[in-house]
Structure 1
Amino acid sequence: MEIKRRNFQGVLNILSFNRHFYVLGFIALALIIGSKFILNWHNGLFWMVILAFIYGLTMPLFVSAYVYDFSGFYNFDWLKKMKIEDTKNKFNLNINAGFDETSFIIESILPNSKLQVYDFYNEKQHTEPAIIRARKVSLFYPNTQQINSNSIPLNDNSVDNIFLLSAIHEIRIQNEKVQFLKECRRVCKPNGNVIMVEHLRDFPNFLAFTIGFTHFFSKSTWKKAFEEAGFNSFKETKFTPFMSIFNCN
């Protein structure tokens, strides 16, 4: 299946999945503007607040356009550079939280390898409105299976590569993340890899998403989770200042 992304699909996704944030933001902005006619605002403070709101509403869209629409992320050249072996005896997993834009792309890059897709979304545990909306428009890769985050239904040492692409930050509880990564470690072959892509809770993403950067986790949080899960290496490569690619084994 050929995947052709629409122009500005990344930005459109952000607007669609987080529309509650933008609705509340524009309501708050309208109330602040209206209050100028009632309250005795200091003119400098008023415009500082207005500009801060406009920045908070628009900057995530500019950064999302850069990362998802113009940086080439979905061309997956970054994955091709890893030179992952693609043969019939290779077995890869792509695990998501119910929104899948990547499985068909991975299949096209590694066409000879077997690919299994798992979805760990649990409506009682993963309650972010954005991911609930994203699931409604997600592509469906054939034979995608629903799993619990603490149980991957495969034998030990059976998988060559596991892809976690902007997905497991939806696991909000640290212990659940560790248990999930322990399962990844268990099913990986001794020379297998976990390839994770995430925004981080760091200064560039604070500039990009303001308070929204708290939806992500810091590099130290991820490092601790991988170490507790039994991984020996945790290598980071920056893809734009706002996104990190981790290769762990």
Structure 2
Amino acid sequence: METKRRKFQGVLNILSFNRHFYVVGITTLLIIISSQLYFQWSQSLLWVIIGVFLYGLLMPLIVSAYVYDFSGYYNFDWLKPLQLKDSEEKLVLNINAGFDETSYILKKNLPKSKLQVFDFYNAEQHTEPAIVRARKVSLTYPNTLQIKTNHMPLKTDSVDYVFLLSAAHEIRSFDGKVQLLKECHRVCKPNGKVIMVEHLRDFPNFLAFSIGFTHFFSKNHWEEAFKTAGFETFNETKFTQFMSVFNYQS
């Protein structure tokens, strides 16, 4: 399977999956501008409102282009410092939320290891238009299994590396995250690793996504979830100012 990405694929995905947001935003802005025909707006206030709308509409696209199209995220260079061993004895688990852009690339980076892919997408719980649209165009890795977040059909202490790449935040409740992470802890071998990549609910992502940064969760939130699930050691490295790579060890 070809893993080379098209130019601007990341930002085009964001624009496509969240087009409802842009339709509403642009429509609202046009209504505000058109209202000048009937109301006497302060020109200064009008330009401030236009600036705020344009910032809110364009900045997420600019940051997404930087992170997903120009930073090398999908080259997986950020994985090299983790020094993961690749061998036929290794079992790697990649867990997604219904949109899989990484399994083929992950297999390319760990070609000898066995790769199993799980999808915890739940149509009743994951109803946001963006993820519904993303699922329709997602690649499906061979033998991908649909799972519930509280159960993985794997033996205890059987997995070397678990990947959660921009997926775990789709579980909105704290308890739901802990359920998934407890299963990750159960299936991981002693000294197995969980590698999670996420945007955080922090200041850089607020500047990037404005109110949209509430779709993500804080570093403290994730630390508490992993500790509750039984993980003892972890570290965080930044991949650009907007994404964090967490390395948790059972």
- The interval holding the TM-score normalised by the smaller chain is over 0.9
Structure 2 distance, partners of 1:124, 1:47, is 42
Answer yes or no: is the 8 Å Cα contact 1:80–1:109 preserved in 2: no
Structure 1 distance, partners of 2:80, 2:193, is 15
Structure 1 distance, partners of 2:40, 2:218, is 41
Partner of 1:15: 15
Partner of 2:185: 185
Matches within 5 A, 1:82-161: 82-161=82-161
Structure 2 distance, partners of 1:36, 1:56, is 22
- Give 1:37 deviation, angstroms: 1.9
One-letter code of the match for 1:87? S
- Give 1:6 deviation, angstroms: 0.5
Partner of 1:223: 223
Structure 2 distance, partners of 1:84, 1:234, is 15
SS of the residue 2:37 aligns to: coil
Deviation sequence 1:46-104 (CA, Å, 0-9, x none): 11011000000000000000000000000001112321000111001000001001000
SS of the residue 2:127 aligns to: coil
Partner of 2:43: 43
Partner of 2:76: 76
Structure 1 unaligned blocks of 5 or more? none
Answer yes or no: is the 8 Å Cα contact 1:226–1:234 preserved in 2: no
**Are residue 65 (structure 1) and residue 55 (structure 2) matched?**
no
User: Which TM-score applies when normalising by structure 2?
Assistant: 0.98
Structure 2 distance, partners of 1:202, 1:143, is 36
Partner of 2:30: 30
- Give 1:2 deviation, angstroms: 2.8
User: Which TM-score applies when normalising by structure 1?
Assistant: 0.99
- Give 1:36 deviation, angstroms: 1.7
Deviation sequence 1:109-143 (CA, Å, 0-9, x none): 10110000000000111111111100000011000
- Give 1:234 deviation, angstroms: 2.5
Partner of 1:198: 198
One-letter code of the match for 2:170? E
Deviation sequence 1:1-44 (CA, Å, 0-9, x none): 23110000001000000000000000110111011222222221
Deviation sequence 1:139-196 (CA, Å, 0-9, x none): 1100000000111111111100000000011001111001110000010011100000
Structure 1 distance, partners of 2:218, 2:248, is 16
